């Protein structure tokens, strides 16, 4: 992994000194600060001039070291990051976690592709995953990650991390093709089988005079392992001889340590995803470029269920007797249609990005950028009657999210008045639209409309002004001071049930917040740099968090329309040593979050999103990367993170005070050993570790390795690559080489073999 530092290359600073009104001759001797330029002169879109922690990885490193079947795989070995990817093509639960944010907090990070927002800020949680499918692994030129809310150019959702995918744009004609296959043998409870799939992609691009273009298409066909299971707690049954006698259920314990029966697997997904992207860049002048991006993603998915239950004749049982009862071990349990129900999804999303950007490197540069992400079709169908498979017709519900999406507008400027100053200024406007309707159909597979079951809509808008001055004081000192002023509005919230004549509306809300930022670095000498960063982040409630609830007597209840924004102060202190062969970084980080947004009990039977008084996290992160270690071509890299993340105040749920924040493990670590033997052969061994973590606010889930549990794990991955010639390469890899069985509510994949054939021209 290529580590980006803000104190590395004196030559880069000298190259820009004249434009900044500085003389390189005036710089004192010793190690100096720089402006980072990456990949032969193409700069990262992240604010690398800020003296804070940024990590990156290039396309060449991805190709050599990572079995990347989805774009989120490229983050696998970044310090302190984890993506809860359950299977290849996981399109609705692959949430990004960072130092002080777990995999249930999707709104506490930001993901971009070429500056276009991919984070799904319609809600916060597992089902609001970033839209990873809008980026294919083969089109990635590099990935950069900014840790923490230390740039005024990003909203408060940057409190955890900002991920930016930079995709390719050709300088000459080029073409690429890739075929990959993957397979795993999955054995859990009574599910035992082989699951896998294939992937193919093709991209082509060229540049002719002022015009550059790029076209990328890909298809993924993935047959995933079961990720959910139907259960019955032992206590929910009643001693009786009634009910259809069945066998085959698996006895176990749930995360709370209570005895239960596992009666079948559910959500065994077969997903076929198509991706297409077209990019155009036109140089209106030598210093003014117009860019347009069109992205399209389509997904057909079928999620099947398998009953473990067997009747007297040995046939699978999907429904009970006339009263929906089954009998296990002399106890009667109710079997409901939803326990072992399949589902069908038909999703089509589209995104547009348009920007006009100057790059004079003079006193002023500016950019105007617009983007739009839209759910052109997003339909999920589930039966409400007993069916054994996804081909059996009957009544059901259809959930339609058509019309949801988000738009962004940004006007940015960079002013270089001289004296080592670079001032970033900007205005941003981000709008999110949540549209969810559920109707009942006589045929869950084919019904186009029916009686309304529920409706759930709402909008949020964030308008921001920001400014920050990065000042290269001299060759050893660099400072940044900035602030962001935000005006947030929530409006158009409404909720309806089947018996509601018209949707019930929430009132509008507006809030204003100011978030200061500061950073300082000092090239201390002896190849050491010391850095300090401080930032405030205000993470506003999403539409899904704000406009939830239920309707009783024609009134909205079980909701908190006055949810407060999360307000976090994050700081880090870093010591970094850089040499010709690599770097070592030691970072202490602290985060204090007031009014953290979590779902917790509102009444004895109802959970809803509420504010938690205070969550406090202290931790240390150590990361290193070195090349040509002991022998030429051997690169060693890795990181270790310790985080002590506790709930410090929570007046509404006192039992949680002093408990660990959910989904934030105490220890995380990863490492890679990548060896390039010669111009043909390379091999990489990777290791990933996550320590003890909890899934509940009061840490009442001591059983880790079970369905709905959250477990620690140690996983090894290998990849061997052979370059046949100038155009062809082969790769063979294994993810989860040691076949670890581990959980984050759902089970992760087990040992998976990956094969790849690639052609590059």
**What's the CA gap between 638 and 640, in Å, rounded?**
7
Of the two residues 104 and 31, the one the predictor is more confident about is 104
Domain encompassing residue 653: 1-168+568-761
CA distance 484 to 207: 38
Reading phi first (left if > 0) and then psi (alpha if -120 to 50, else beta), residue 498 is in alpha
The answer to whether residues 6 and 521 touch, using CB atoms and an 8 Å cutoff, is: yes
* DSSP one-letter string for 128-184: S---GGGS-GGGEEEEEEEESS--TTS-GGGGSEEEEEEEP--SS-EEEEEEEEEEE
Instruction: Answer yes or no: do 603 and 714 share one domain.
Output: yes
Token output for 163: 């991920």
Alpha carbons 321 and 430: distance in angstroms, whole number: 53
Among candidates 599, 593, 591, which has minimal Cα distance to 652? Answer: 599
Confidence of residue 44 (pLDDT cuts 50, 70, 90): low
Residue 598 lies in a domain: yes
Q: Sheet containing 325-328: which strands, arranged edge to edge?
A: 238-239, 331-334, 325-328, 244-245
Mean pLDDT of 378-387: 96
* Lowest pLDDT segment from 92-96, 124-128, 505-509, 600-604: 600-604
In this prediction, residue 449 carries a pLDDT of 87
- Position 1 scores a pLDDT of 56
Structure tokens at 606: 């109802």
Question: Angle at CA 165, nearest 5°, toward 161 and 169?
Answer: 160
Asked if residue 691 and residue 624 are part of one domain, the reply reads yes
Determine the Cα–Cα distance for residues 157 and 593; give it in Å rounded to an integer. Answer: 13
Share of the chain above pLDDT 90, in %: 88
- d(Cα 71, Cα 94) in Å, to the nearest integer? 11
Virtual CA dihedral for 69, 675, 43, 590, nearest 10 degrees? 80
Look at residues 328, 304, 313, 267 and name the one whose alpha carbon lies nearest to residue 387. Answer: 304
- Of residues 28 and 394, the one with the higher pLDDT is 394
Q: Which pLDDT band, with edges at 50, 70 and 90, does 562 fall under? A: confident
Q: How many CB atoms lie within 10 A of CB 581?
A: 11
Domain assignment present for residue 441? The answer is no
Looking at the structure, do residues 606 and 732 belong to the same domain, yes or no? yes
How far the first Cα of the chain sits from its last, in Å, is 25
Residues 92 and 128 in one domain: yes
Asked if residue 562 belongs to a domain, the reply is no
**508 DSSP 8-state letter:** P
Judge if 176 and 125 occupy the same domain: no
User: Could you tell me the pTM of the whole model?
Assistant: 0.93
Distance CA 470, CA 235 (A): 62
d(CA 349, CA 92) in angstroms, rounded, equals 13
Strand, helix or coil for residue 358: strand
Q: Which of 322, 345, 371 is the last residue of a domain?
A: 371
Check residue 550 and give its pLDDT.
84
| pLDDT tens column, 410-457 | 999 999 999 999 999 999 999 999 999 999 999 999 999 899 999 999
- Let me know whether 717 and 628 are in one domain: yes
What DSSP assignment string belongs to 555-592? EEES--TTPPPEEEEEEEEEEEEE-SSEEEEEEEEEEE
pLDDT at position 165 is 96
Residue 457 in domain: no
Using only the alpha carbons of the chain, give its radius of gyration: 27
pLDDT at position 336, please? 95
Task: Assess whether 626 and 736 both reside in one domain.
Answer: yes
Can you list the alpha helix ranges (DSSP code H) found in 216-280?
none
CA 182 centroid distance within chain: 22
Q: Helix, strand, or coil here: 537?
A: strand
The C-alpha atoms of residue 348 and residue 378 are separated, in whole angstroms, by: 6
Distance between CA atoms of residues 541 and 265, nearest Å: 34
Report residue 573 as tokens: 């202190």
Overall average pLDDT of the 148-172 stretch: 96
Give the residue from 347, 371, 395 where a domain finishes. 371
- Other Cβ atoms within 10 Å of 257 Cβ, number: 11
Structurally, the chain folds into a number of domains equal to 2
User: Tens digits of per-residue pLDDT, 193-219?
Assistant: 999 999 999 999 999 999 999 999 999
Which stretch of 41-55, 116-130, 332-346 has the lowest confidence by average pLDDT? 41-55
Please write the tens of the pLDDT for every residue from 693-742: 999 999 999 999 999 999 999 999 999 999 998 999 999 999 999 999 99
pLDDT for 40 beyond 90: no
Q: Are 547 and 495 in contact (CB under 8 A)?
A: yes
- Closest of 437, 670, 598 to residue 104, by C-alpha: 598
Domain boundary among 371, 401, 418: 371
Measured from the Cβ of residue 237, the count of other Cβ atoms closer than 10 Å reads 20
Residue 28 clears pLDDT 60, i.e. is over it = no
pLDDT of 41 strictly over 70: no
> Could you give the CA distance from residue 633 to residue 321 in angstroms, rounded to a whole number?
67
Do both 120 and 190 map to the same domain? no
Distance CA 29, CA 619 (A): 35
Residues 233 and 356 in one domain: yes
The more confident residue out of 648 and 560 is: 648
Q: Is residue 190 located within the same domain as residue 164? A: no
Band (pLDDT 50/70/90 cuts) for residue 558 is confident
Is residue 422 included in any domain, yes or no?
no
Averaged pLDDT of the chain: 92
751 and 614, same domain (yes or no): yes
Task: Work out the burial of residue 719: count CB atoms within 10 Å of its CB; fewer than 13 is exposed, 13-18 middle, 19 or more buried.
Answer: buried
Proportion of the chain above pLDDT 70, given as a percent: 94
How large is the average pLDDT for residues 233-257? Answer: 96
pLDDT at 19 over 90: no
Question: Are 83 and 161 members of one domain?
Answer: yes
The CA dihedral of 638, 90, 353, 537, to the nearest 10 degrees, is -60
Looking at residue 751, which CATH number applies to its domain?
A: 2.170.130.10
pLDDT tier at 526 (50, 70, 90 boundaries)?
Answer: confident
Do 303 and 343 contact (CB within 8 A), yes or no? yes
Can you say how many angstroms the Cα of residue 125 is from the centroid of all Cα atoms in its chain? Answer: 10
Which of 486, 615, 456 is CA-nearest to residue 546?
A: 456
What is residue 542's DSSP assignment? P
* 18 contact partners, CB below 8 Å, separation of at least 6: none
The burial class, CB within 10 Å (0-12 / 13-18 / 19+), for 208 is exposed
Report the candidate in 455, 438, 440 with the shortest Cα–Cα distance to residue 556: 455
529 found inside a domain: no
Adjacent-strand bridge partners of 638: 624, 671
Residue 74, classed as helix, strand or coil, is: helix
Residue 700, in any domain of the structure = yes
């Amino acid at each position: 992994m290529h580590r980006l530092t803000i104190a590395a290359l004196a030559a880069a600073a000298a190259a820009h000194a004249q434009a900044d009104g500085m003389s390189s001759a005036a710089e004192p001797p010793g190690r100096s600060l720089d402006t980072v330029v990456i990949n032969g002169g193409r700069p990262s879109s992240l604010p690398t001039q800020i003296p804070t922690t940024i990590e990156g990885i290039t396309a060449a490193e991805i190709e050599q070291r990572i079995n990347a079947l989805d774009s989120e795989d490229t983050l696998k070995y970044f310090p302190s990051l984890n993506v809860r990817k359950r299977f290849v093509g996981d399109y609705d639960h692959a949430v990004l976690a960072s130092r002080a944010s777990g995999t249930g907090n999707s709104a506490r990070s930001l993901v971009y592709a070429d500056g276009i927002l991919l984070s799904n800020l319609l809600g916060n949680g597992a089902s609001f995953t970033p839209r990873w499918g809008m980026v294919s692994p083969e089109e990635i030129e590099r990935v950069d990650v900014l840790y923490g809310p230390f740039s005024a150019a990003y909203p408060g959702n940057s409190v955890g991390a900002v991920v930016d995918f930079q995709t390719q744009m050709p300088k000459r004609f080029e073409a690429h093709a890739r075929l990959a296959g993957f397979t795993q043998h999955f054995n859990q409870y009574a599910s035992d089988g082989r699951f896998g799939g294939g992937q193919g992609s093709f991209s082509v691009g060229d540049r002719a005079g002022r015009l550059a273009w790029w076209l990328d298409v890909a298809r993924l066909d993935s047959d995933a392992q079961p990720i959910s299971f139907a259960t019955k707690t032992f206590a929910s049954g009643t001693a009786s001889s009634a009910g259809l006698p069945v066998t085959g259920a698996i006895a176990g314990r749930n995360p709370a340590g209570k005895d239960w029966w596992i009666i079948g697997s559910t959500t065994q997904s077969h997903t076929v995803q198509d991706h297409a992207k077209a990019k155009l860049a036109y140089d209106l002048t030598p210093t003014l470029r117009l860019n347009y991006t069109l992205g399209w993603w389509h997904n057909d998915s079928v999620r099947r269920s398998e009953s473990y239950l067997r009747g007297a004749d040995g046939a699978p049982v999907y429904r009970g007797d006339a009263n929906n009862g089954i009998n296990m071990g002399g106890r009667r349990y109710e079997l409901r249609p939803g326990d072992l129900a399949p589902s069908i999804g038909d999703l089509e999303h589209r995104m547009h990005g348009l920007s006009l950007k100057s790059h004079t490197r003079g006193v002023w540069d500016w950019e105007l950028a617009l983007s739009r992400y839209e759910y052109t079709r997003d339909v999920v169908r589930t039966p409400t009657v007993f069916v054994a498979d996804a081909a059996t017709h009957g009544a059901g519900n259809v959930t339609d999210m058509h019309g949801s999406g988000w738009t962004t507008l940004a006007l940015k400027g960079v002013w270089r008045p001289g004296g080592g100053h670079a001032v970033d200024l900007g205005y941003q406007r981000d709008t999110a639209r949540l549209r969810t309707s559920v109707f009942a159909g006589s045929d869950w597979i084919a019904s186009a409309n029916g009686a309304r079951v529920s409706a759930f809509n709402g909008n949020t808008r964030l308008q921001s002004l920001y400014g920050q001055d990065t000042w290269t004081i001299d060759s050893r000192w660099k400072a940044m001071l900035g602030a962001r002023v935000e005006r947030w509005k929530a409006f158009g919230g409404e909720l309806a049930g089947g018996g509601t004549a018209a949707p019930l509306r929430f009132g509008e809300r507006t809030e204003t917040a100011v978030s200061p930022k500061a950073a300082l670095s000092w090239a201390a000498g002896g190849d050491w740099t010391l850095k300090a960063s401080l930032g405030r982040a205000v993470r506003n409630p999403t539409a899904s968090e704000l406009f939830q609830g239920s309707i009783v007597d024609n009134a909205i209840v079980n909701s908190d329309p006055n949810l407060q924004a999360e307000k976090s102060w994050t700081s880090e202190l870093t010591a970094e040593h850089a040499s010709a062969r690599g770097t070592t970084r030691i970072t202490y980080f602290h985060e204090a979050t007031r009014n953290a947004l979590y779902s917790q009990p509102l009444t004895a039977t109802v959970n809803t999103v509420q504010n938690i008084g205070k969550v406090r996290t202290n931790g240390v992160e150590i990361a290193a990367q070195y090349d040509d270690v002991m022998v030429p071509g051997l690169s060693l890299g890795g990181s270790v993170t310790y985080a002590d993340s506790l709930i410090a105040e929570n007046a509404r749920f006192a039992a949680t005070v002093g408990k660990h924040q959910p989904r934030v493990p105490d220890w995380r670590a990863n490492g890679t050993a990548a060896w390039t033997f010669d111009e043909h052969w390379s091999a990489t061994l990777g290791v990933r570790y996550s320590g003890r973590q909890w899934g509940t606010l009061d840490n009442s889930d001591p059983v880790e390795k079970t369905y709905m549990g959250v477990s620690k794990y140690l996983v090894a991955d290998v990849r061997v690559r052979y370059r046949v010639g100038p155009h062809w390469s082969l790769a063979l890899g294994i993810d989860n080489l040691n076949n670890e069985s581990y959980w984050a509510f759902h089970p992760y994949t087990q040992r998976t073999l990956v094969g790849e054939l690639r052609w590059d021209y």
